[in-house]
Amino acid sequence: MLSSSPSLFVVATPLGNLGDFSPRAREVLAGADIVLAEDTRRTANLLRSAGIEARLVSCHDHNEAQRIPEMLDAMRDGKKLALVSDAGTPLFSDPGYRLVRAAREAGLSVSAVPGPSAPLCALAASGIAPQPFTFLGFAPRKQSEQKTFFEAFAHAPTTLIFFERKNRLHATLKTAYDTLGPRELCVARELTKAHEEFILCRLEEYQNIPEDLLGEITVVVGPPEQEATLDAEAIQTIIADEMRLGGKPREVARRVADRAPGWSVKEIYEVMKDLRP
Q: Is CATH 3.40.1010.10 correct for 8-115?
A: yes
Q: Which amino acid is at 64?
A: E
Q: Homologous superfamily of 119-227 in CATH? A: Tetrapyrrole methylase, C-terminal domain (3.30.950.10)
Burial of 215 (0-12, 13-18, 19+ CB in 10 A): middle
SS3 (DSSP) at 204: helix
Name beta bridge partners: 163: 138, 218
Q: How many angstroms separate the CA atoms of 15 and 115, rounded?
A: 10
pLDDT computed for residue 2 by the predictor? 43
Closest residue by Cα to residue 46 from 96, 10, 1, 12: 12
Name beta bridge partners: 219: 162, 187
The beta strands (E) that lie in 71-215 are given as: 81-84, 110-113, 133-138, 159-164, 184-189, 197-202
Q: How many angstroms separate the CA atoms of 271 and 256, rounded?
A: 11
Q: Where are the domains of the chain?
A: 8-115, 119-227, 230-275
Per-residue pLDDT of the chain (277 residues; tens, 9 = 90+): 344 578 999 999 999 999 999 999 999 999 999 999 999 999 999 999 999 999 999 999 999 999 999 999 999 999 999 999 999 999 988 889 999 999 999 999 999 999 999 999 999 999 999 999 999 999 999 988 999 999 999 889 999 999 999 999 999 999 999 999 999 999 999 999 999 999 999 999 999 999 889 889 999 999 997 655 567 788 888 898 888 888 888 899 888 888 886 688 888 888 888 776 5
pLDDT computed for residue 130 by the predictor? 93
pLDDT computed for residue 3 by the predictor? 42
Residue 19 DSSP one-character state: G
Q: Are 139 and 146 in contact (CB under 8 A)?
A: yes
SS3 (DSSP) at 134: strand
pLDDT computed for residue 5 by the predictor? 78
